[in-house]
Structure formats: C-alpha cells, structure tokens
Chain A
Amino acid sequence: MAEEKINDNGYDHLIRITLIGDNNVGKASILKRFARNEWDAKPVGTSVAELEIKTVKVFDKTIRLHMWSIQKSTSNILNSYLRGDAIGIVYDVTNRDSFKNLHIWFTEVERYARDDAIIVLIGNKCDLVEDRQVSLNEALPYAKLHNISHIETSAKTGAGMIDLFGLFLENSVKTLQQKQNKFKNTINVEVEKQNRELPSTHAKWSCI
C-alpha cells in the first residue's frame, strides 16, 4: 500500500544517499550545492542530521533523492541511515586528520551498510590547491584498496558535483533495475538543462 502511494506522488524510485565523515569536511555543503546550488562561506555546523531532497530525471524515470548528511557523533544512533542505497565517505583534502580517520568510517560502513550499497570516497575542498595536504596519489590507492570509486569535489566551486551524483545515480539505478537489465554501463540521458547550471562534464541528466 505504501509503495503505491509513493508512486502516486510522482516518482519512480527513491534513492537514499548518506554522506558521512569527520566534522567540518563539508558534507552538508556538498549536498547544499547539489540540491540548491548554494554555498555558504560560514556554514552552521550540522547538528545530528540534515536532509536535502531533490528530484532528477534519468531516462524516463523520475528519481527522488533523499540526501542525508550525518554528524560524526550521531552515526551510532542513526546507523539505519547507513542502510541506504548509496554512501559517500567524505574527507577534506586540506585536512590530513580527516583522511587518517577514514578507517573509522569504513568500519562503520562495513558494519551497517547493505551489501549492494554504492560507496564512494569523496575528497572535498579540492579548490584549495595551496592548502592541500592529501594528494591524489595517496587517495587513489586507498580507494582501490577498499575497492570503491574516488572523486574529488569542491562544494565552493561546484567541481565534481555532477560526476559524484552521476556516479551515485548511475549505480543506484543500475541496482534498482538489475532484474530487468535495462541499463547498460553508459547511460545516455537526454539533456534537459533547466534552471540549474552546474559545471557538468560527462554524465547527463536533468533536474526537476
């Protein structure tokens, strides 16, 4: 009954994306940039959890994204939110400690996440070239070790946003549609740029 109701409300799939990571790495900023194309120089620290909602169109499917950013200290209580479809583990490229702490987050994810969840390692604040403390040469092998994708983003400039959420969407939709096998590795999506103008690279889908 609940499923039918959801479908009546104008979307085909619901994808839950959760971002976790140390404090002040910019989890909420990434979501804010993607969902509302806004950026705060002085953001209010996330307390407990923040939710952003966005609807996108991939092929003819309308997909609603529930994007959570979860505060460090509450991940224990909210572990059910790590059971979503996709998880982004965020670190700050200008903060070595946040990179060092990644193993904590991996254990969390391994413990609570679903087996088919898409996990992406996200290095945020890549626009701050001069302050960089974690190089790509370090991060890439680390991601490879854990067998997950790696993406560098900047919530400030919007770089990497499309790549990141394209990756999330592509893979989530793929998992959702696996039974029907409708989707191939490369998604050709019609471009339907509306009000948002995010710097885009290759993945293409439209915002509603």
Chain B
Amino acid sequence: MESGLDLKKLMGRAEQMDLGHSRIRSVYWKMYLGYVSLEVKRWKTELETKRKAYEQLWNKYKDLGREKDDKDKDKDEDKNKNKNRNRNKNKNKDKDKELRERIELDVERTYPEHLFFNCAYVQTHLTDLLFVYAKEHPHLLYQQGMNELVAILYLVNMVQSTLLVTPTTSPSLWEVVQDCRFIDHDTYWLFDMVMRYMSKYYYHNNNNNNNNNRQSSSSSSSSSSLLTNLPPITLRCQWIQYDYLAQVDARLCQRLGELKIEPQLYMLRWIRLFFTREFDIGDVCILWDAIFSTFCHHRYIHIQNLFQRQMPTLAKTRTQTPEFEMEAQLSPFHKQVLDQQLEFRMVDYTCCAMLMLIRQQLMDGDEQECLSRVMRYPALEDIRSLVEQAHCVKLIIEASHPLYRSSHPNLGLHLHQLHTHIQPTSVSTVTTPTSSHHFHRHTLQRTHSNALKKTHTPNHATAATHRHPPPPPPPPQRSFSFSHSRPSLPTHPVHSPFFVLTITKRVTTTMIMIIIIIIIIIIIII
C-alpha cells in the first residue's frame, strides 16, 4: 500500500508536458496504459509474467511465414532474429508468408525519412511484433496504420531502455522495467493495450465487407442499409464534429457543416493513427503523453465506479482502498465492462482542439482551402498550445459527463470563463486558463522527479490525500498566451511584482524630477 503511486501525480506529470525530459517516458506510458499497476511492489512480477507470455507467443509464431534457418533455440533472442532475417524468399505462398510480406511492405514505408526506422534491425522487429499481433488476433489481422502506432511505441521503449553491462543477480527496479532485452515484449503489450480500445475502429472493414457481399448478392438496397449501419469509426468522427465540437464551438461546427466536409474524411486518419501523420515524432510523443494520461485517469475513475457497483457494501470503506487494489479485485465481468467503457477520449478532444486552432482559416477560407487545411494540417509552432487547448475542450465536455465531472473540482466556477476564453481563439493565439493544471503543477513540482524512487521512500501521504483532493486554492486569474507571434502582455499587471516595481520606478523618477525642478525654481527665485 505504501508503495502505491498517486494517480494525480502521474497525471500532473503529463499535463506539464515534460515527460520528454524525464527519460522515463516509457515507464509512464507503461503505467498509464495499465501494463503495470500503480503498485510499484508488484512491477517485477507483473512484468515477468507478461514478458514470459510474449516469449511464448513469439516462440509459437516466430517460424511461421518465413524460411527456417536454425532449429535450435538461442537464448539470446536478438541473435536468433538476426539469423532469421536472411531468409530467402520462397515461391510457395501460404497465408502467413503473404501476411508477413504485407506487414514488411508497410513497415518499410513507416517514417522513411527517419534513420532509426530505416535500420534493418528495427524493421525486422517491428514486422515481428505486428506479425505476432496479427496471428493472435485473426479477426483483425494486420491493418494499415498499426505500423505507425507500433513504431512510436517501439521507439520510445528503445530509446529509453537500459543496457545491463554487468548482469547482476538483483537488478534495480529501474533496470528491470527498462531492460533492453525486453523491448519487444514491452512494446507488444503496450500496443496490445492500445489496440484493445482502438481495434474496433480498425475492425469494421471486415464486417462491412461481409455485409456488403451479402447485400450485393441479394439486392441493391445496400446504400440505404449502410446508412443505418454505420461503422464505429464513422460514428465516432461524426460524434466529434457534430457533438463535441458543437459544445465547445458551435459556429465552427456549423461552418464545417456548411462546407459539407465529411468528418470521417480527415478525422479518420487523426483518430486511427493518433496524429502520427500530422506532427513530428517528438510532438506526437508529447501529444500521446496527454492522451495516455487522460486515459489512465478515466480508467481509474471507471475502476472506482465499477468497484462500487460490484461491492456496494464496501462502498463505505472505498475511501481507504487504493486504486490498484480495486483493480485487482474487479471481477472478470466487470473487467470486460471496463474495457467496453473506456476510450482514448483525449483523442477526441485533440481533434476538436486541432480544428479550433485553425478556426480562422476554416471560417474565412473557401471549400478548397478548408479541405486542404484539414487534409494537410499546418505545422504548429508549439505542440503545447494544442495540448493546452485539448485540455480546455476536455474540461468543457466532461463537465456534463456523469462520471468525469466529479473529477474536476470547482469546475462550474471556471466553465464560464473557459467558454468566454475559448470562443475567440484564432490560429496563433490560444488563451487557456486551466486552473486545475496549475494546481497540479505547483503542488507536484517537488514530488514527481522520479516515480521509481518512490519505491524506496514509502509515501503514506500520497495514497491518502488523493481520494480527498484538497480543494485547489482559488484559481489564479491568469491567462497564458502560447503564441510566439503575439507580444505577451501581462493581462493582469497588478499581480505582477515586476510591473509594480517598474511603476514605482517610474513614479520615483518623476517625483525626483519634480523636486529638482522645484528646487531650481526656488533657487532662481531666491
């Protein structure tokens, strides 16, 4: 219990958008996605079982779809793969081989401009990962777009892995979590976690195809039935544009409707690929921090909720039960419900935020300009402005959500301000008073430095405080300007000590001048 990590602190870390500097982004992602629980004590065993599970999968599938080079199992996996890589192409095409080739083709086309992904070693590993996933999920197989998700996860895991120079009998937790021998394993499970909630947005193709085939054979009424039977991805896109966006910016929503731009046309890519095509890899990682941390937050809200439903008798003592214990105690049924309920909601909010950032162009431009604007999203000066905007959208939308609203204390107070601030946003200027973020920011500054260190420093306070989050101090009435183009004016100059200082300076100089003049006048008179 004492080793449990505080959820709020984890969240705060991502909201500050500085995971990139921390060098333990991969650890955070592992926690956010639920690959490891919040209880650090359990990490070693959790990781061990998961990694063993992947090892088994790998052994099961590694020889499929390629020529066998050597039969004896090498303990060192990497060596094994290297040998297998020089497989020669056989002419007999079985399904596995075809699948493998299909994946290879796309992996080769993943970030061709990045040296990292050009390297044959990385490409083989990505192909292996996708191949194992496809074999494990025969209904989904491999779909275009997965390669990009897996590539980013792999990159983050790879860059932040640690090499054990001298294999010790008792490696530190740090070394275990980021062990470079298990990059594949960790990446696979992270990817599996992401796909658990995203797969339905890839699935529909197969289902739809089957439907279409059946329909085409029977009658020509396919188009009418298609309308009623929309795939989930289309529904989600439309939901974002016609509901979420309407909530935060009704006029922009109306404008997009007038332009007759179908949301799924551009948003499909944003959602499926988690914006990997729209921004640089570094920016994408920052964006993913926000997506995953929000997901983690939602996940534990749902867990709490389901736990209450599952054991209403324990509801009273709920306040004493930490999240990871609730999670462990969930029944298999409720775990399934949890999977059903969860979504990467931050993706939706980011979509809205992206549209709002190019609001001016969308409002002023003609159909063609708007189309090319959303199809080729302009490069942002600073990805942080987008993330902040997305957090704003999140606050507004979740205010009406029965579960999530309780997680934003004092929300009603700021909603009005948010609305007034969020409406007149243009492309380069985003003003976002996000009080709760500042709250995290200030209170968590000291404690977040290294989550792993907490294993050694028992922290009673964290587990207890977080169920009863102290009401945040009255929100600082500050608005942040993220634009580089706009001169940053202090919006509330009175609060700024520097400004007061300059005022007093000015006043004193004028006073001195006046005094001098008076003295001179007196002298003259005399």
Of B84-92, B266-274, B409-417, B491-499, the one with at least 4 CB within 8 A of chain A:
B266-274
The answer to whether B425 has its CB under 8 Å from any CB of chain A is no
Q: In the complex, what distance in Å separates the CA atom of A80 from the CA atom of B145?
A: 22
Q: Which of A5, A51, A72 has the most CB of B within 10 A?
A: A51
In the bound complex, do residue A47 and residue B371 qualify as a contact, i.e. CB atoms below 8 Å apart?
no
The answer to whether B15 has its CB under 8 Å from any CB of chain A is no
In the bound complex, do residue A78 and residue B264 qualify as a contact, i.e. CB atoms below 8 Å apart?
yes
- Contacting residues of chain A (24-56) with chain B, CB-CB under 8 angstroms: 24, 42-45, 47-51, 53
Instruction: Name the distance in Å between A139's Cβ and chain B's nearest Cβ.
Output: 23
Known: A24-B105, A53-B371. A111 touches B216 (CB 8 A): yes
Known: A6-B367, A45-B106. A73 touches B233 (CB 8 A): no
The answer to whether B277 has its CB under 8 Å from any CB of chain A is yes
Q: In the complex, what distance in Å separates the CA atom of A48 from the CA atom of B275?
A: 12
The answer to whether B265 has its CB under 8 Å from any CB of chain A is yes
In the bound complex, do residue A77 and residue B231 qualify as a contact, i.e. CB atoms below 8 Å apart?
yes
Q: Contacts of B371 on A, CB cut-off 8 Å?
A: 51, 53, 66
In the bound complex, do residue B231 and residue A48 qualify as a contact, i.e. CB atoms below 8 Å apart?
no
Contact of B372 among A53, A74, A79 (CB under 8 A): A53
- Contacting residues of chain B (69-116) with chain A, CB-CB under 8 angstroms: 102, 105-106, 108-112
Q: Which residue of B lies closest to A41 (CB)?
A: B112
Q: Contacts of A80 on B, CB cut-off 8 Å?
A: 262
The answer to whether B375 has its CB under 8 Å from any CB of chain A is yes
A1-32 Cβ-contact flags toward B at 8 Å (1 or 0): 01001100100000000000001100000000
The answer to whether B148 has its CB under 8 Å from any CB of chain A is yes
Q: In the complex, what distance in Å separates the CA atom of A44 from the CA atom of B110?
A: 6
Q: Contacts of A45 on B, CB cut-off 8 Å?
A: 106, 109-110, 144
Q: Contacts of B262 on A, CB cut-off 8 Å?
A: 78, 80
Instruction: Name the distance in Å between A3's Cβ and chain B's nearest Cβ.
Output: 11
Q: Contacts of A2 on B, CB cut-off 8 Å?
A: 258
In the bound complex, do residue A64 and residue B209 qualify as a contact, i.e. CB atoms below 8 Å apart?
no
B268-287 Cβ-contact flags toward A at 8 Å (1 or 0): 11001100010000000000
Known: A42-B109, A47-B273. A78 touches B265 (CB 8 A): yes
- Contacting residues of chain A (54-98) with chain B, CB-CB under 8 angstroms: 64, 66, 71-74, 76-81
The answer to whether A201 has its CB under 8 Å from any CB of chain B is no
Instruction: Name the distance in Å between A174's Cβ and chain B's nearest Cβ.
Output: 23
Q: Contacts of A51 on B, CB cut-off 8 Å?
A: 371-372, 375-376
Q: In the complex, what distance in Å separates the CA atom of A74 from the CA atom of B145?
A: 11
Q: Which residue of B lies closest to A24 (CB)?
A: B105
Q: Contacts of B111 on A, CB cut-off 8 Å?
A: 44
In the bound complex, do residue B109 and residue A107 qualify as a contact, i.e. CB atoms below 8 Å apart?
no
- Contacting residues of chain B (198-236) with chain A, CB-CB under 8 angstroms: 202, 204-205, 208-209, 212, 216, 222-223, 226, 231, 233-234
In the bound complex, do residue B216 and residue A49 qualify as a contact, i.e. CB atoms below 8 Å apart?
no
In the bound complex, do residue B265 and residue A44 qualify as a contact, i.e. CB atoms below 8 Å apart?
no
Instruction: Name the distance in Å between A44's Cβ and chain B's nearest Cβ.
Output: 6
In the bound complex, do residue A73 and residue B212 qualify as a contact, i.e. CB atoms below 8 Å apart?
no
Interface residues on A, range: 20 to 34
Q: Which of B109, B202, B376 has the most CB of A within 10 A?
A: B109
Q: Contacts of B368 on A, CB cut-off 8 Å?
A: 9, 53, 64, 66
Q: Contacts of A44 on B, CB cut-off 8 Å?
A: 109-112, 277
Q: Contacts of A107 on B, CB cut-off 8 Å?
A: 216
Q: In the complex, what distance in Å separates the CA atom of A78 from the CA atom of B266?
A: 11
The answer to whether B143 has its CB under 8 Å from any CB of chain A is yes
Q: Which of B145, B222, B226, B265 has the most CB of A within 10 A?
A: B265
Q: Which residue of B lies closest to A70 (CB)?
A: B265
In the bound complex, do residue B148 and residue A47 qualify as a contact, i.e. CB atoms below 8 Å apart?
yes
Q: Contacts of A72 on B, CB cut-off 8 Å?
A: 144
In the bound complex, do residue B277 and residue A47 qualify as a contact, i.e. CB atoms below 8 Å apart?
yes
In the bound complex, do residue B109 and residue A77 qualify as a contact, i.e. CB atoms below 8 Å apart?
no
Q: In the complex, what distance in Å separates the CA atom of A107 from the CA atom of B354?
A: 36
- Contacting residues of chain A (117-159) with chain B, CB-CB under 8 angstroms: none
Q: In the complex, what distance in Å separates the CA atom of A47 from the CA atom of B216?
A: 27
In the bound complex, do residue A111 and residue B222 qualify as a contact, i.e. CB atoms below 8 Å apart?
yes
Q: In the complex, what distance in Å separates the CA atom of A76 from the CA atom of B268?
A: 12
Q: In the complex, what distance in Å separates the CA atom of A112 from the CA atom of B202?
A: 22
- Contacting residues of chain B (246-298) with chain A, CB-CB under 8 angstroms: 258, 262, 264-265, 268-269, 272-273, 277
Instruction: Name the distance in Å between B22's Cβ and chain A's nearest Cβ.
Output: 30
Q: In the complex, what distance in Å separates the CA atom of A44 from the CA atom of B375?
A: 15
Q: In the complex, what distance in Å separates the CA atom of A107 from the CA atom of B265?
A: 22
Q: Contacts of B367 on A, CB cut-off 8 Å?
A: 6
In the bound complex, do residue B145 and residue A47 qualify as a contact, i.e. CB atoms below 8 Å apart?
yes
Instruction: Name the distance in Å between B361's Cβ and chain A's nearest Cβ.
Output: 14
Q: In the complex, what distance in Å separates the CA atom of A71 from the CA atom of B265?
A: 11
Q: In the complex, what distance in Å separates the CA atom of A5 from the CA atom of B368?
A: 12
B44-58 Cβ-contact flags toward A at 8 Å (1 or 0): 000000000000000
Q: In the complex, what distance in Å separates the CA atom of A71 from the CA atom of B209?
A: 15
Contact of B205 among A5, A64, A73, A81 (CB under 8 A): A73
Q: Contacts of B110 on A, CB cut-off 8 Å?
A: 44-45
Q: In the complex, what distance in Å separates the CA atom of A71 from the CA atom of B268?
A: 12
In the bound complex, do residue B212 and residue A76 qualify as a contact, i.e. CB atoms below 8 Å apart?
yes
In the bound complex, do residue A6 and residue B268 qualify as a contact, i.e. CB atoms below 8 Å apart?
no
In the bound complex, do residue B144 and residue A47 qualify as a contact, i.e. CB atoms below 8 Å apart?
yes
Instruction: Name the distance in Å between A39's Cβ and chain B's nearest Cβ.
Output: 14
Q: Which residue of A lies closest to B267 (CB)?
A: A48
- Contacting residues of chain B (9-26) with chain A, CB-CB under 8 angstroms: none
- Contacting residues of chain B (349-373) with chain A, CB-CB under 8 angstroms: 366-368, 371-372
The 9 closest A-B pairs by CB, nearest first: A48-B269, A42-B112, A45-B109, A51-B375, A9-B366, A76-B208, A48-B268, A73-B205, A47-B269
Given contacts A43-B109, A45-B144, A78-B264, 14 further A-B contacts (CB under 8 A): A9-B368, A45-B110, A47-B272, A47-B273, A49-B375, A51-B372, A53-B368, A72-B144, A73-B144, A73-B205, A74-B268, A76-B208, A77-B231, A111-B216
Q: Chain B: residues with CB nearer than 8 A to chain A?
A: 102, 105-106, 108-112, 143-145, 148, 202, 204-205, 208-209, 212, 216, 222-223, 226, 231, 233-234, 258, 262, 264-265, 268-269, 272-273, 277, 366-368, 371-372, 375-376
19 contacts between A and B (CB under 8 A): A5-B366, A23-B144, A24-B109, A42-B112, A43-B109, A43-B112, A45-B109, A47-B148, A47-B273, A49-B265, A51-B375, A53-B371, A64-B368, A71-B144, A76-B212, A77-B231, A80-B262, A107-B216, A111-B216
